[in-house]
Amino acid sequence: DFGVTTRNEAGEPVAYALYRLADTKIVRHMKIKGDFNPFDPAQAAYGEQLRMQRMSKDVWGYQRSKLWDAQEGKCALCNHPIDDHDACDDHHIVYREHGGSDALSNRVLLHRVCHQRVHTLGLEVAKPVPARKGL
């Protein structure tokens, strides 16, 4: 392995190694059924299964999928469905600069527009309480 040792700002030695392409993880893409239509309500369950599998691949996606499940796929502000995970934001209820944590209990998913409204208008968002099943 090729590497170098240098010092950081505190004067402590730090070792850096050259990245090897062989260390790159190979990620196989998931096949999707050829007749899958994301706009067909009859295939919504399959689409949801694909979305959850994709989101669970990394830590950030896994956490967002947990928030999405806890909120039953709805925005915490407007209560409308969040259809596109890329068009939603992860909002901290108690801002990090005010001592809030990155714990799931302090975060909610909001539509991007709703997130902008929260910050622009100074709105407060509460963690939604999931409906009890079987009642």
With respect to residue 29, please indicate whether it lies within any of the assigned structural domains: no
The C-alpha atoms of residue 88 and residue 65 are separated, in whole angstroms, by 12
pLDDT computed for residue 12 by the predictor? 93
pLDDT computed for residue 1 by the predictor? 63
pLDDT computed for residue 135 by the predictor? 56
Site of tokens 């999928």 = 65
At 125, which CATH number? 3.40.1800.10
- 82 lies in which domain range? 42-129
With respect to residue 86, please indicate whether it lies within any of the assigned structural domains: yes
With respect to residue 28, please indicate whether it lies within any of the assigned structural domains: no
Over the chain (135 residues), the average pLDDT of each successive run of 10 is 86 88 80 87 82 66 84 91 75 87 91 92 88 60
With respect to residue 6, please indicate whether it lies within any of the assigned structural domains: no
With respect to residue 12, please indicate whether it lies within any of the assigned structural domains: no
* Number of domains forming the structure of the chain: 1
pLDDT computed for residue 125 by the predictor? 93
With respect to residue 47, please indicate whether it lies within any of the assigned structural domains: yes
With respect to residue 96, please indicate whether it lies within any of the assigned structural domains: yes
The C-alpha atoms of residue 111 and residue 77 are separated, in whole angstroms, by 8
| Closest to 78 measured CA to CA, from 119, 117, 129 | 117
The C-alpha atoms of residue 61 and residue 101 are separated, in whole angstroms, by 18
**Which runs of consecutive H residues, i.e. helices, occur in the chain?**
44-55, 59-70, 112-121
With respect to residue 65, please indicate whether it lies within any of the assigned structural domains: yes
pLDDT computed for residue 124 by the predictor? 92
pLDDT computed for residue 56 by the predictor? 62
